[in-house]
Structure 1
Amino acid sequence: MLTTPKLNFEQLFDSFSVSDDTLIFPDEVGELEETQTFKEGSIRQIQVNAYERNNPARKKCIEYYGLNCYVCQFNFEKIFGEIGKGFIHVHHIIPLSEINQEYEVNPIQDLRPLCPNCHAMIHRKYPPFTIEEIKDLLSKN
């Protein structure tokens, strides 16, 4: 190979035969294994109830509590910079689906700012975990 400097890679690989059970790059074992595929993207229609949120109530909650997660203190702007500015979920302490009617929300008593991770963990069961339960789990782990 060194005696023919004009030999390109295609010619090099065309001139060698590699059997299926030969491991060329041990670090890339996963690439040699057969990959199973799955179908996604089919469309189905569903009907759900959507509970209206009040954006001024959300703003008042954030104005009062700030943009740090109420559970873990994560702040998107501090970590991600400009793209994280102003980003936080707002959690209803009593889920709207439990109230199941229009009501007057108190942004300081009824809402808390949460990062998406803590928010998702709160809703891992029904009825949801309380904020205190998630804080306790976080402190134990």
Structure 2
Amino acid sequence: MALSGITRHGVLAAIEEFDRLGREEFLAKYRFGKALSYFVYHNGKFYDSKAIAGYAHGEIAGESRWTTDDFTGGEASVARHLRDRLGFEFIVQTVDWTRDELVLACDLVWANDWHELRAEYPQVIELSALLRRYWASTLERRETNFRSPNSVGRKTSDIATQHPDHKGRPTRGGKLDRLVLAEFMANPQALHEEAMALRAAIVDGETLDITAARKDEVDVESGAQEGRLLEQRSLRYERKPALRNRTIKAFKKKYGFVACEACRFDFSKFYGLRGEGFIECHHRTPLSQSGVTETMPGDLILLCSNCHRMVHCKRPWLTVAQLLDLVRTNGATP
């Protein structure tokens, strides 16, 4: 019996058994490894596609359950049947390297005089850990070797062997590898600074979830369900509230009011007592760049929420001078 004999009823039975046992026990009991790329997505949960199909095959009258050795096709062929014929939703977790990731990898190759770096190199091991933090919100749905040192090392080889000075045949790299390499070669210092900014953003807890972004796309006519409690974990730099409070008090003592030092927005004028003394505090040199440091009151600047957000809304972040120039240029009174 081929895949065509598997029914929707059989797949639902497999999902029910999967939920009853849990992923680890289900895969062990029915002799399957973890899916690499294709997952059935049903009622908000992910299911290893081949394992589900193998169990469902045993729901066909007179047929036994398949193990991974019984399949003649790969995950893609399973997905076509379960999705196109049976109507199940599929999530493809094969994730190409993003431009951000390639900039970080290319930065390593550039620093290594345009030579590849092997998996055991400390720089590769460190970048592997950083990229796994980048994808932190989706790691539970990926193989344990996702963005491993081996995969990072291979990517540095893809980049290095595309360099014009490389002697020999290039490895199999993608078009984006070549574009990022060309961009890096044209302006290495700017791309290096971008790589440093990306590192800081990842350490600050900015991760990426392509799957979640895809699921969040909704028809504006129909709306979307919201309101579930979600747990979010990230690392952030230590800040001392006393420094912020001292800076605000010093400003008020000098000027008699509290306002944004860039656009002069005064919350108390717009919101009365509720806005009295409200302001945000920005480090002139971001802690993600300075690391552990002795911060003095003069290292801080008071910004309204809008100006503060404009500094941080995209990389590279604005310096205080650039923010002030932006405000002046666009007509506000600094």
TM-score bracket, shorter-length normalisation: 0.5 to 0.7
C-alpha distance in 2 between matches for 1:41 and 1:136: 40
Residue ranges of structure 2 left out of the alignment (5+ in a row): 1-219, 253-257
Other structure's SS at 2:315 match = coil
Change (3 A) 1:106 1:45: same
C-alpha distance in 1 between matches for 2:327 and 2:286: 22
Give 2:303's aligned residue.
114
- 2:297 matches 1:75: no
Which of 100, 106, 109 is the matching residue for 2:291? Answer: 100
C-alpha distance in 2 between matches for 1:37 and 1:56: 43
- 2:317 matches 1:131: no
Give 1:61's aligned residue.
247
Change (3 A) 1:39 1:74: same
Structure with more contact order per residue of length (Cα contacts < 8 Å, sep ≥ 6): 1
User: Shift of residue 55 of structure 1?
Assistant: 1.7
Residue 114 of structure 1 aligns with an amino acid whose one-letter code is L
4+ residue runs of structure 1 moved beyond 6 angstroms?
A: none
C-alpha distance in 2 between matches for 1:96 and 1:79: 31
- Identity among equivalent positions (%) equals 37
C-alpha distance in 2 between matches for 1:117 and 1:97: 21
Task: Show CA shifts across 1:30-72 (max 9, x none).
Answer: xxxx932123334443321122221221122112333210100
- 2:238 matches 1:52: yes
Calculate the aligned-residue CA RMSD, in Å: 2.0
Choose between structure 1 and 2: higher helix proportion: 2
User: Shift of residue 86 of structure 1?
Assistant: 1.1
Asked if structure 2 preserves the Cα contact closer than 8 Å seen for 1:65 and 1:112, the reply is no
C-alpha distance in 2 between matches for 1:127 and 1:35: 35
TM-score (norm 1): 0.66
- 2:40 matches 1:40: no
C-alpha distance in 1 between matches for 2:247 and 2:305: 16
Residue ranges of structure 1 left out of the alignment (5+ in a row): 1-33
TM-score (norm 2): 0.30
Asked if structure 2 preserves the Cα contact closer than 8 Å seen for 1:88 and 1:113, the reply is yes
